[in-house]
């Protein structure tokens, strides 16, 4: 089995893979939008394709669905090569970002459509449609037309329509992006519950890191047609393989530093330590804002495992749930976040403090990464 040729540390090969993408390339004319993509997904796994706009998420999803043919490479499901198989022969359920419901049909007919195409009996169709609408809690709206539904309800019809054919793989392209924050939260939980109940292998496209972190078994972080890293939400967040992953998933400070021959890292006139191994020379140091502690008196006792650095407060920003303290350290800006419940009045720009954080929370990357 092929292993991932990726920049990051995550290896995308898994035991007993169900969906396999091997050496996938996609060119539009001369422009390569997907380059040598290798990915394996386990049966029953919910995997997110996460990345900024234009990185190739939809293209990848559509190649899995068979709506786009790869320029090179192979796609297999359960050991069967489907690379040249038409979409209807692949047994996949697809939910697009725009719901793409038939406007003139009722909710029930929209959901029944795929079953009618497959020539099932009326009785079978009726039972399956009722079950699928039950899953998304829409039985009571079966007789409505799409225009008589809210965005969230339409999205649930689209989901029921994809689930009703009992596909072997469920493909979701930004299914929640048109919903407001509260509905998005509810739908996340609902999709995850249904996915786990049915044990359905699912590929979920999103550019929202919270969605990817909170719903998925593993995340594939993509950038410019390449995979940057594949890993569990915890691995991606706590051990980002590249500076891009560190700043795309979660927030982080980016501070220029220099790694010395003895392994220490200089930031201005201070020295810190990190568990990352990088070559001596210019480096980028990253620390998440909420992992930094502020010692306003500069006298708190610290363990051996903490980095400590003297800093001067330059600005305070109130952001509701959190308060952000902007510090200057020899010309570099450190942002520190605290829950507002802990925030104290009486700190003014110019105030001196000592910032500290765990060595293991210090990500260091070479300047060329």
Ligand X SMILES: Nc1ncnc2c1ncn2[C@@H]1O[C@H](COP(=O)(O)OP(=O)(O)OP(=O)(O)O)[C@@H](O)[C@H]1O
- Residues making contact with Mg ion (CB under 5 A): 58
Choose from ligand X, Mg ion, none: what does 59 bind? Cβ within 5-8 Å by kind: ligand X
Q: Could you tell me where the DSSP H helices lie in the chain? A: 57-65, 107-117, 122-135, 151-163, 181-198, 209-215, 233-238, 243-248
* Count of positions on this chain that bind ligand X (CB under 6 A): 11
* Tokens 């050496």, located at residue: 23
Q: How far apart are CA 110 and CA 113, in angstroms?
A: 5
Q: Which does 298 bind (CB under 5 to 8 A by kind): ligand X, Mg ion, none?
A: none
Q: Mask 150-189, x = binds ligand X (CB under 6 A)?
A: ----------------------------------------
Query: According to CB under 6 A, which one of 1, 5, 11, 28 is a site residue for ligand X?
Result: 28
DSSP β-bridge partners for residue 259: 265, 281
**What does the angle CA 66 – CA 72 – CA 77 come to, to the nearest 5 degrees?**
45
Q: Where are the extended beta strands (E) located within 1-90?
A: 17-28, 31-42, 46-50, 72-77, 80-81
Identify which range of 38-46, 53-61, 122-130, 283-291 contacts ligand X by CB under 6 A.
Answer: 53-61
Q: What, of Mg ion, ligand X, none, does residue 17 touch, CB below 5 to 8 Å by kind?
A: none
Closer to ligand X at the Cβ: 37 or 213? Answer: 37
Nearer to Mg ion, 61 or 335 (CB): 61
Which residue in 148, 61, 144, 130 sits closest to 97, CA to CA? Answer: 61
Beta strands 270-272 and 253-259 are unpaired
Task: Name the 3-class secondary structure at 297.
Answer: coil
| Residue 55 engages ligand X in binding (rule: CB under 6 A) | yes
Show the site string, 204-233: x = touches ligand X by CB under 6 A, - = not: ---x--------------------------
Q: How far is the CB of 327 from ligand X (least distance, A)?
A: 34
58: contact with ligand X by CB under 6 A: yes
225-238: buried (b, 16+ CB within 10 Å) or exposed (e) per residue?
bbbbbbbebebbbe
Residue 362, contacted partner among Mg ion, ligand X, none, CB below 5-8 A by kind: none
- For 313-359, give the DSSP string: EEEEEEETTEEEEEEEETTEEEEEEEEGGG--S---TT-EEEEEEEG
Question: Does residue 67 belong to the site contacting ligand X (CB under 6 A)?
Answer: no
Q: Which stretch binds ligand X (CB under 6 A): 50-58, 115-123, 192-200, 350-358?
A: 50-58
By CB under 6 A, which span of 10-18, 51-59, 114-122, 150-158 interacts with ligand X? 51-59
* Chain residues that interact with ligand X, rule: CB under 6 A: 28, 33, 51, 53-59, 207
């Amino acid at each position: 089995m092929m292993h991932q040729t990726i920049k990051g540390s995550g290896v995308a090969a898994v035991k007993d893979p169900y969906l396999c993408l091997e050496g996938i390339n996609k060119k539009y004319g001369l422009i390569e939008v997907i380059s040598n993509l290798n990915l394996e997904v386990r049966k029953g796994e919910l995997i997110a394709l996460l990345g900024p706009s234009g990185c190739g998420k939809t293209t990848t999803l559509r190649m899995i669905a068979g709506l786009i043919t790869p320029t090179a490479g192979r796609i297999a499901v359960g050991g069967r090569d489907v690379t040249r198989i038409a979409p209807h022969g692949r047994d996949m359920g697809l939910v697009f970002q725009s719901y793409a419901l038939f406007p003139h049909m009722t909710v029930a007919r929209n959901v029944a459509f795929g079953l009618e195409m497959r020539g099932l009996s009326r009785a079978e169709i009726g039972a399956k449609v009722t079950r699928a609408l039950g899953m998304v809690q829409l039985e009571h709206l079966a007789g409505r037309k799409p225009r008589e539904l809210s965005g969230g309800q339409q999205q649930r019809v689209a989901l029921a329509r994809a689930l009703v054919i009992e596909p072997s793989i469920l493909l979701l392209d930004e299914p929640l992006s048109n919903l407001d924050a509260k509905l998005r939260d509810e739908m996340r939980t609902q999709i995850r519950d249904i996915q786990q109940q049915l044990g359905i292998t699912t590929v979920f496209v999103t550019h929202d890191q919270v969605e990817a972190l909170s719903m998925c078994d593993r995340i594939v972080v993509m950038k410019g047609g390449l995979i940057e890293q594949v890993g569990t939400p915890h691995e991606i967040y706590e051990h980002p393989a590249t500076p891009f992953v560190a700043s795309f998933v979660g927030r982080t400070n980016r501070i220029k530093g220099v790694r010395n021959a003895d392994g220490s890292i200089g930031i201005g006139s201070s020295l810190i330590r990190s568990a990352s191994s990088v070559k001596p020379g210019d480096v980028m140091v990253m620390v998440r804002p909420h992992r930094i502690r502020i010692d306003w008196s500069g006298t708190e006792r610290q363990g051996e495992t903490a980095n400590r650095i003297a800093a001067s407060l330059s600005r305070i920003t109130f952001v509701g749930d959190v308060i952000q303290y902007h510090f200057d350290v020899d010309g570099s800006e450190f942002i520190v976040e605290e829950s507002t419940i802990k925030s104290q009045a009486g700190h003014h720009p110019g105030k001196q403090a000592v910032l500290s954080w765990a060595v293991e929370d210090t990500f260091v990357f070479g300047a060329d990464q």
